[in-house]
Amino acid sequence: MASHRKSRPVGTRVAGIRTPALATAALTSVALLSQSANAAPADDRPSLEEVEKKVDDLYRQAESATDNYNAAKEKTATQRKQVDTLLDDVARRTEKLNEAREELGSFAAAQYRTGAAAPDTATFLLADTPQDYFDQTQLMGRLTNRQKGAVDDYVSEQSATMKKRQEASQSLQTLTETQSDLKTAKATVQQKLADAREMLSELTAQEKARLAALEKQKQEAAARKAAELAQQQVAAEKAAQEATAPQESTSTATDSSYATKAAKALAFVRAQIGKPYVWGATGPDSYDCSGLTQAAWKAAGVDLPRVTYDQVNAGTTVSLADAQPGDLVFFYDDISHVGLYIGNGMMIHAPKPGAYVREESIYYDGESAIHSVVRPA
């Protein structure tokens, strides 16, 4: 998923040059022309900080829309299977209904051919012998009982078939609505990314260089913060080992089991470094952020949900100070980004469109961007 950042204080715009009124009209004209030439672009053009904030916001919005897209896509696949199952059931029941209808038809035809009716005095009188009458009555009784069973079967099958048809119709309607949500989410992602690309394309070469310098400064600050966390975790781990050294507990076995699974997830995710971020992708050639973490833990035998706001509930929440390699680190209030913690304040994640799976400080967007840490197994 796209890497996005929290809102930052907007930088001060470059003020236009305000030249005081001069004594002569000529100098006044020169000053006004100078002011018009220099001030107008500064007033009309957003500052670099504003551009950065807007681009980051667009990436954040695209990332949220990507989660909606992923959820709708997954839901669509599930609903399509349900619809297919219901339609298959309706087809089988319709076939059985037709068979029951044919059976009723055969009874009706038989009655028509034999002139079957309720036995009465006239029938008795028309019979050649009393035995003929009793034989005919017995035959009609058997036909009536079988016909009653066939009618019951037909009515039951007809009711079940109608119910299944209604269920299929409702499921088809729900699927149509979900497909509409999918289409809307896809369009939103594409539009946000297009807007971000357009804003970046309007930057001058000098502005792009300055933006890269600002990004480098932030990365350096994030690396320092990660180093601080690494030192704190080492100290905390040492203290914990000293406190529990004389004791043996099941927690050691639990930690060992998790470490084994985490090692498999980490080995997988390291092998993906350098692959491109593509929204909605789950591998093997490209990933978005939750697609990467899902694939990594699947390699360790653990099934995670598809989207970030489901993955955050797929484990045990731990403090940042207690984070272990393999844990999932979630970002922002809307939980729209996730990375796989590798230790020492660092993670591997799929950052944003145009970027590649990479190793980066969990403080890449500041400490306030970190939402939570979850241990998935």
For the segment 174-192, what is each residue's pLDDT rounded down to a tens digit?
A: 888 888 988 998 999 999 9
pLDDT at position 242: 65
Round to the nearest angstrom and report the end-to-end CA distance of the chain: 23
DSSP E strands in the chain: the ranges are: 316-318, 328-331, 337-343, 346-349, 358-361, 370-375
Q: Is the pLDDT of residue 359 over 60?
A: yes
Distance CA 105, CA 130 (A): 31
Distance CA 311, CA 328 (A): 9
Residue 101 is which amino acid? R
pTM: 0.62
pLDDT tens digits, 107-158: 666 655 555 544 444 444 445 555 565 565 555 555 566 666 666 677 777 7
Q: Is the pLDDT of residue 31 over 60?
A: no
pLDDT at position 150: 66
Distance CA 256, CA 260 (A): 6
Q: Is the pLDDT of residue 357 over 90?
A: yes
Active-site option among 182, 229, 269, 289: 289
How is residue 310 written in tokens? Answer: 């489901």
**Beta carbons of 316 and 306 less than 8 angstroms apart:** no
Distances (CA, A) of 349 to 52, 296, 346, 370: 21, 11, 10, 14
Query: Which candidate, 184, 171, 155, places its Cα nearest to that of 64?
Result: 184
Q: Is 371 a catalytic residue?
A: no
Q: Is 337 a catalytic residue?
A: yes
DSSP count for the chain of H helices, then E strands:
8, 6
Q: Is the pLDDT of residue 29 over 50?
A: no
Distances (CA, A) of 333 to 312, 330, 336: 12, 9, 8
More confident site: 23 or 298:
298
DSSP letters spanning 64-111: HHHHHHHHHHHHHHHHHHHHHHHHHHHHHHHHHHHHHHHHHHHHHHHH
**Beta carbons of 290 and 1 less than 8 angstroms apart:** yes
Residue 351: CB atoms within 10 Å: 21
Cβ-in-10-Å burial (0-12, 13-18, 19+) of 223 comes to middle
Distance CA 161, CA 344 (A): 61
Reported residue count of the chain is 377
Query: Which candidate, 264, 376, 275, 272, places its Cα nearest to that of 330?
Result: 376
**Beta carbons of 315 and 300 less than 8 angstroms apart:** no
pLDDT at position 122: 44
Q: Is the pLDDT of residue 293 over 90?
A: yes
Helix residue ranges per DSSP H, 306-353: 308-311
Active-site option among 4, 60, 186, 349: 349
Cis peptide before 20 (omega within 30 of 0): no
pLDDT at position 126: 47
Distances (CA, A) of 125 to 50, 132, 196: 107, 11, 98
Q: Residue for token digits 């593509």?
A: 278
Q: Residue for token digits 């699947």?
A: 298
**Beta carbons of 265 and 299 less than 8 angstroms apart:** yes
Q: Is the pLDDT of residue 287 over 90?
A: yes
pLDDT tens digits, 71-110: 888 888 888 888 888 888 888 878 877 777 776 666 666 6
How is residue 234 written in tokens? Answer: 């080492």
Q: Taking residues 151-180, report their average pLDDT.
A: 82
Active-site option among 5, 73, 337, 352: 337
pLDDT at position 350: 96
Any long-range contacts for 115-124 (C-beta under 8 Å, 24+ apart)?
Answer: 116/140, 116/143
